[in-house]
A and B are shown apart, each in its own frame.
Chain A
């Protein structure tokens, strides 16, 4: 399961929180509160200090499974079981976890759900950007109060990491490699000493048990700051792969599209599984540079064509079908989205797409509608 990598989660602690029903995208712990409560109820295994669920229950939450009373837990991550087990075991040993992978391999998704299942709160989040300041990792000051009252506990503005330490929870760092190197470095002591000194107050925050960090990073991207080996050493690394088989990917896309559609309150459209399969096929073939039957070599476009992009193509197609079409997902609804996803670089990618269209799509007998639709938009 995947979300677009830039899928933003609202920064914590601003504006009065709307009810979970009004928000555009509820947090994992809100959306799956029912499942989490059920799991906690049936969970009789030992829980590591600070954990809401036992490691087994966390694994079940992520991979799905049945409970003793017959309830089905829906799978959140579709992929190798061992990856999830390694991730959960890492967190259970209070180590930090680094999720690596190309864009759209469900890194953020997995970190959100892990945090939700372990701490019941996935909002202690630091978004890594080129401009992330050190205050986002350590702490800042409320300057008005600082000037008025001098340094005090009340003038201190906690970072999400500091709060996680205080309460023994899981903090998340998104796009770790996008942070400047010096900000990355301030994580090192924090992760090894598990304390955060506040010299201005001559005090320190010691992490309570249960505190740990899940970071995500792209391993194939431009403009990133390589992780220093000192920081790298503080993490256990799990590399998330692209979906292995077409069936897996179709399953991921279909499941996620259904959830998104529900969240966006789109009119119920018949699940266009055929159309989803077609989108996934196009994405997989272009990504691999080879047609599914292994007969024809293709050029690959410059974009990553991740599963997350396939999901957004299908979702917007559904919206099109619902609002402007006859309510059934058809080729013309997805054609525009596909072209937009494939043609990232207007010059070279257009050639790649045209070639694909003319040599592969045109010759597929039951793809005639798709071919016509793509011709129209490109």
Chain B
């Protein structure tokens, strides 16, 4: 332990005040235990912890029984009411920072110690208000990256670096071997402080090592100045035994004798953001990730076990592993566990380690419990080594009303958040399930994707399958979303309205309508509908109208399942169909190939939407429109072919063979003829295989082509049929060969005209040298 007679503590310090600085490894169970032991011995009356000082006000909550780690301190810029015209893009520009704590984090143990023993707790890092503003670092760009990678690693994980230097892959393992298992030895902290001083001296010569985030150095200086300042204040406040728990790297900096004025200068005038602070639940999976909010702990489950197990960590771990394998119906006996423990210990001895670690235990699991198979080992890794676990926070944690409303609803609908992804089957005929479905859809409107719709296994529109997985950052999303309202329903309705206002195209707007219906937001619906009707009336582009149609029809059709009022929707759809029918005729004039293809897609979608709508009046109007369209001069071949086909299927056109012949006759340009055939057969070869009538029609047309015309059409046919898969072409050929009552290859009923044939026959006979006897 490091005694310090702080020179900074000139005025007002209680005489004989003692300060001890404990350099720790973040999220290291070994450090956690050592800190706990050291604090028990030192009995401080104030504990300063590396963390944002804004959290001082809510640190008491950590002692509540409802607080179960892993949890995190969340600092966020409180959401401001969205300005009118604010759209989703600027909305996602959020600022938040997390300080995660697991049970085995030394900081958490220090907090718990202080709260249990009645010592004051203060967080001594740079305020989150300053940290949320990215540091201005004028030097960062100009510095050439000449220093080694190593230096960056020393700074970011100094204990890890020391471990690597000693030949260990895992820093915890090194800590365990070097520090933990020297029973009854002196406290490790003075040695750590010394080692850090050495390391810092080493890297001090190279000012800006490569591999560090920009501004890291400036920020580090500011943070350490803040730590020193907090320490001085604590001493000034009359605390006599002050313990500081911080990352090992900072120990020498806190002990350094730096003039007050210099720290004041460092910290003066830093830009500030408005910040609120709260606790949020965290997950082990998040701790395991190195990027984002993660802490880079590879095996949080193992660490938690090491910390929690009172004794015999290896035996307990393997017993638990056996229990998990048994749940999966893998036969594992106690004899297995005994042998696995023996193997783990023998391996540790062979590798010269004082105690079996995760490596040895995993090898033993593989060789004994899993009998050499890899799959169960992977199961153990997922369930135990990472050990997905979601923390919880007490009810009186500061929450925005929206979070409170959500947790209320979760309780009422019996949908507990869990960090493990699981599937949820909903039967929309049940009240509780429809309420759940609505809640999930509403949350999706708020961009909280707690549930993600999955492919439904069952048939029928009343089934819904979701995959539920709670991620810690959803709390941030909720806090952001709280600007929209205080309840999930209210906020999602307000957001839907805003999305509708901001929607640029009609299709976007209709998808908002659809989502409103799914989410059962009848309150938002009239407003959104009004916007939709206005937009549809003003939108002159028939393409937009056609894009909008399918999702609206879907919503209308399936609205009944969800017992949502669809009255206003019906009106909008009615208007839309009429507008599409009117608008499509001029819109289909003078199109080039690409535009025709676009229109063809839309036409198909609109056609199937109307089929789904199944409304006699609309269908009749649509068919009339198509029929008038197909006869227009100058229609693109692709469209004409497709329309002919649609009308043929609808049973409206009767002269399809003639039209077909006309379209590909010698008068028609080859490209157009090809497009026509392509449009006509655009549903693919399978239709021809299964639709006898159609096949017969096409077959008769081809068979009836005169020879020279056939030669002309052949390339077009080849092009159209070439699009089909080989298997389809073969199947079509088969079908044609076995068509019952196949059409004759040549029309039989073509009577011979003796008057016209006479001279030709005579000539042929003369050539052959046989004079016709006359």
Contact = CB atoms under 8 A, between A and B. Distances in A.
Given A55-B350, A59-B350, A236-B368, A86 B339 contact: no
B342 interface: yes
Interface stretch (A92-100, A137-145, A254-262): A92-100
Contact of B371 (A59, A85, A90, A237): A237
A89 B335 contact: no
Query: Which 3 residue pairs are nearest across A and B when measured between Cβ atoms?
Result: A237-B372, A89-B346, A89-B347
A88 interface: yes
Given A90-B367, A93-B339, A233-B336, A239 B346 contact: no
B367 A93 contact: no
A82 interface: yes
Nearest to B347: A89
Contact of B346 (A90, A232, A237, A238): A90
Category for how many chain A residues contact B:
20 to 34
6 contacts: A88-B350, A89-B343, A90-B346, A93-B343, A100-B372, A229-B331
A95 B342 CA distance: 9
Interface in B340-383: 342-343, 346-347, 349-351, 359, 363-364, 366-368, 371-372
B333 interface: yes
Contacts of A90: 343, 346, 367
Contact of B350 (A56, A232, A235, A237): A56
Interface string A50-79: 000001100100000000000000000000
B368 to A, nearest CB: 5
Nearest to B360: A89
Nearest to A235: B371
Interface string B612-638: 000000000000000000000000000
A93 B335 CA distance: 14
A236 B341 CA distance: 12
Contact of B347 (A85, A229, A232, A239): A85
Nearest to B368: A236
Contact of A86 (B333, B336, B342, B347): B347
B372 A93 contact: no
A236 B350 contact: no
B346 A92 contact: yes
A89 B350 contact: yes
Nearest to B363: A86
Nearest to B351: A85
Given A56-B350, A92-B346, A93-B346, A236 B339 contact: yes
Interface in A219-249: 229, 232-233, 235-239
Given A55-B346, A85-B347, A233-B333, 16 more contacts: A55-B350, A82-B359, A85-B363, A86-B363, A88-B350, A89-B347, A89-B350, A92-B350, A93-B346, A232-B371, A233-B336, A236-B367, A236-B368, A237-B367, A237-B371, A238-B372
Nearest to B339: A95
A334 B338 CA distance: 51
Interface in B433-450: none
Contacts of A239: 372
Interface string B564-591: 0000000000000000000000000000
A95 to B, nearest CB: 6
Interface string A268-299: 00000000000000000000000000000000
B69 to A, nearest CB: 33
The interface size bin for chain B is 20 to 34
A92 B349 CA distance: 10
Contacts of A56: 350
Contacts, number: 54
Interface in B721-761: none
Interface of B: 331, 333, 335-336, 339, 342-343, 346-347, 349-351, 359, 363-364, 366-368, 371-372
Nearest to A54: B350
B342 A233 contact: no
A56 B331 CA distance: 33
Contacts of B350: 55-56, 59, 85, 88-89, 92
Contacts of B331: 229
A98 B339 CA distance: 14
Interface string A94-111: 010010100000000000
B356 to A, nearest CB: 10
A111 to B, nearest CB: 15
Given A56-B350, A92-B350, A238 B342 contact: no
Nearest to B331: A229
A51 to B, nearest CB: 13
Nearest to A227: B371
B333 A93 contact: no
A229 B336 CA distance: 12
B331 to A, nearest CB: 6
A237 B368 CA distance: 6
Contacts of A238: 367, 372
B179 to A, nearest CB: 25
A98 B363 CA distance: 15
B126 to A, nearest CB: 44
Nearest to A59: B350
A63 B363 CA distance: 18
B420 to A, nearest CB: 29
A233 B343 contact: no
Q: Which of A232, A237, A238 gathers most chain B CB within 10 Å?
A: A237
Contacts of A89: 343, 346-347, 349-350
Nearest to A48: B346
A295 B246 CA distance: 52
A194 B339 CA distance: 16
Nearest to A238: B367
A51 B154 CA distance: 45
Contacts of B372: 98, 100, 237-239
A29 B372 CA distance: 29
A83 to B, nearest CB: 9
Contacts of A229: 331
Contacts of A236: 339, 343, 367-368
A86 B343 contact: yes
Contacts of A95: 339, 342-343
Contacts of B364: 86
A82 B367 contact: no
A237 B365 CA distance: 10
Contacts of B351: 85
A88 B335 CA distance: 20
Nearest to A239: B372
Nearest to B374: A239
Interface in A319-343: none
Contacts of B363: 82, 85-86
A192 to B, nearest CB: 9
A103 to B, nearest CB: 17
A236 B365 CA distance: 10
B371 A93 contact: no
A235 B368 CA distance: 7
A95 B340 CA distance: 10
A233 B366 CA distance: 13
Which of A85, A98, A238 is packed against the most chain B CB atoms within 10 Å?
A: A85
A105 B630 CA distance: 72
Contacts of B343: 86, 89-90, 93, 95, 236
B755 to A, nearest CB: 66
B336 A93 contact: no
A233 B335 CA distance: 8
Nearest to A237: B372
A228 B526 CA distance: 70
A85 B363 CA distance: 10
B343 to A, nearest CB: 6
A98 B343 CA distance: 14
Q: Max chain B CB contacts within 10 Å: which of A55, A86, A232?
A: A86
Contacts of A55: 346, 349-350
Contacts of A59: 350
A86 B371 contact: no
A82 B359 CA distance: 9
A82 B366 CA distance: 12
